[in-house]
Amino acid sequence: MPSEILPRTGAGPRLDMTAPLTGQLQREPCLLPGCPRPDHEVVAVDAHAAGEPGRVIINGVADVPGATMFEKMRHLATCHDDLRRRMLREPRGYPAANCNLVLPPTSPSAATGFVIMEQVEYPLMSGSNTICVATVLIETKMVAVTEPVTRFVLEAPAGLVQVEARVENGHARSVTFENVPAFAMQLSAPVEVPDVGTLSVDLAYGGMIYAIADAGALGLRLTPDEARDIVRVGECIKAAAREQAPQAHPEQPEVVGPTIVCLVGPPSGRHADQRNAVVVSTGSLDWSRPGTWTGALDRSPCGTATCARMAVLHAQGKLPIGRDFRNEGILGTVFTGRLVAETEVAGRPAVVPTITGRAWVTGYARYVLDRDDPFPAGYTVADIWGAGADGTCADE
C-alpha cells in the first residue's frame, strides 16, 4: 500500500513562508562537550520515511566548527568521520542505514541545522532524511508544534529548506518541504556499461548528482525480488557514468558525480505516475572485482531522486510547473513531488521542487562507545557488505 500523502489535488502551491513560522528549536544541553570521541554516548531517534531508515542524533554531540552547514559537514567528513562509520556500520548499523546529526544552525532563519551521513558520502541533501528529521523534531517537541500545521526552516548542507507539516495529536501525518533548486545537467548521454552495452543516461541534480536510466532497457520491472540485480547493474551504470560523463555542481565544484543512480519505469498502479529504484553505494566499485559491484536500494521513493527526475522531465517538456508527480518506490510507497517555480543556478535553467511524504518513529536509543571496544568505528563483512568490505574499521 502507498504511504499516506496529501491528496493529489491538495498538495498545494509553493509553501507560504510568509505565514508565521511556528517551529523554534528547543535544544537540551549536550551530554558531553566537544566533538565525537571514544567512550561517549549519543541519543538518537530511529525513524523511517516511506520505508527508508533515517536515524536522527539529537543529543550527545556538541556543535562543530563551520560558518555554514556545508562547512560543518566538511569538518565532520575531514576530522570526525568515525561518528558516521560508527553509527552506520555494524554493530549499530547495516548497509541500508542512514544517519542525521542535528546541529545548531548558522542561519538565523533556521530552527536547526542537520548533516546527513550515508555509507560512502555526506550528501548535500536527502528527501527521506529531511522528512525523518522534521518528524523527529515535531514528535519529540524539539520545535514548537501547532496544529493542524507546523512550519519551520531547516538548514541542510545544500541550503535552507522550508518545511510544512500536517500535525494531528502531536504526530506528523505528512511533511512537505521545498527543496533546493534542481536542474538537468546532461540529457541522453551515451554511456557504455561493461556487460550491458550502451545506455542513454540523464544526469541531473536534485540535492545529489544522479545518473538516471530506463529500467525497461535493462529488462527490469523494479520489484523487490529483483533487488540484487538492480543494485548490481545500478552500481555499474553509476561508475561508468562517472568515468564517461562526469559532472560537478556549478556553484560548488567540489561536489562531483554522479554519486547515485536511479532506474525508472512504469508504476504498479494508478496511485502513482512512475516507479523508481535508487541504488546507494556501500563501498567502492572495482571493475576487476565483480564482488564489489554491490550496494543497497533506497527503500523509499527517494526525495532527491524525485526532484532530479522532475527536473529532467521539465527540461524535456513533459512536466509543467504546478502538476503533481507521484513517484513510487520499490516497496510501493509514494512521495508526491511538484515543481512550483522556474529559476536559475549559475545561469542554467532550474526548477524549485517540493516533496510531500511521511515518516514514522520506530525507536528511541542511547548509543554508547566503551573505551575498550575493539571496533570504535564499526566494521563491515563481505557476507552483506560485498567484496569491498574492509573488516575492522579501527579508529584512525
300 DSSP assignment: S
Among 11-15, 119-123, 350-354, 378-382, the range scoring the smallest mean pLDDT is 11-15
Claim to verify: residue 171 and residue 187 sit in the same structural domain: no
pLDDT in tens, 97-115: 999 999 999 999 999 999 9
Claim to verify: residue 308 and residue 173 sit in the same structural domain: no
pLDDT at 30: 43
| Identity of the highest mean pLDDT range in 12-26, 72-86, 382-396 | 72-86
Claim to verify: residue 145 and residue 194 sit in the same structural domain: no
Q: Kindly state the percentage of the chain with pLDDT values over 90.
A: 80
Grid cell 541522453 is found at 188
Question: What confidence category does residue 17 fall into, taking pLDDT thresholds of 50, 70 and 90?
Answer: very low
pLDDT at 391: 62
The answer to the question of residue 382 being in a domain is: no
Claim to verify: residue 154 and residue 251 sit in the same structural domain: no
Distance CA 34, CA 30 (A): 9
Distance CA 33, CA 29 (A): 9
Residue 90 near residue 282 (C-beta atoms within 8 A): no
Distance CA 170, CA 159 (A): 27
142 DSSP assignment: S
pLDDT at 291: 80
Three cell numbers written together for 95: 548497509
Claim to verify: residue 140 and residue 196 sit in the same structural domain: no
Domain end position, chosen among 179, 207, 228: 179
Q: H or E element: which one contains 334? A: strand 334-345
Claim to verify: residue 80 and residue 155 sit in the same structural domain: yes
Distance CA 118, CA 125 (A): 11
Q: What is the CATH number of the domain that holds 108?
A: 3.10.310.10
Annotated active-site residue 126? The verdict is yes
Question: What confidence category does residue 369 fall into, taking pLDDT thresholds of 50, 70 and 90?
Answer: very high
| List of residues 6+ apart from 373 with CB closer than 8 A | 38
Question: What confidence category does residue 389 fall into, taking pLDDT thresholds of 50, 70 and 90?
Answer: low
Task: Determine the average pLDDT of the residues in 302-329.
Answer: 98
Domain end position, chosen among 145, 162, 179: 179
Claim to verify: residue 192 and residue 316 sit in the same structural domain: yes
Distance CA 27, CA 384 (A): 37
Task: Determine the average pLDDT of the residues in 163-168.
Answer: 98
Distance CA 46, CA 64 (A): 22
**What's the total number of domains in the chain?**
2
**pLDDT greater than 60 at residue 23:** no
Claim to verify: residue 153 and residue 204 sit in the same structural domain: no
The answer to the question of residue 393 being in a domain is: no
The three-point CA angle 66-69-74 to 5° equals 65
Claim to verify: residue 120 and residue 194 sit in the same structural domain: no
Query: Could you list the residue range(s) of the whole structural domain that residue 99 is in?
Result: 8-179
Claim to verify: residue 59 and residue 85 sit in the same structural domain: yes
Widest CA span in the chain: 59
Which listed residue (3, 107, 109, 126) is catalytic? 126
Residue 85 near residue 124 (C-beta atoms within 8 A): no
Question: What confidence category does residue 288 fall into, taking pLDDT thresholds of 50, 70 and 90?
Answer: confident
The answer to the question of residue 389 being in a domain is: no
Question: What confidence category does residue 40 fall into, taking pLDDT thresholds of 50, 70 and 90?
Answer: confident
Question: What confidence category does residue 343 fall into, taking pLDDT thresholds of 50, 70 and 90?
Answer: very high
The CA R_g of the chain, rounded to the nearest whole Å, is: 20
**pLDDT greater than 90 at residue 123:** yes
- Residues paired with residue 352 on neighbouring β-strands, in sequence order: 341
pLDDT at 13: 41
Q: Kindly state the percentage of the chain with pLDDT values over 70.
A: 88
Question: Is the torsion defined by CA of 136, 156, 256, 211 positive or negative?
Answer: positive
**pLDDT greater than 70 at residue 28:** no
Minimal CA–CA distance to 207: which of 112, 320, 307? 307
**pLDDT greater than 70 at residue 27:** no
Claim to verify: residue 228 and residue 343 sit in the same structural domain: yes
Q: How many CB atoms lie within 10 A of CB 278?
A: 31
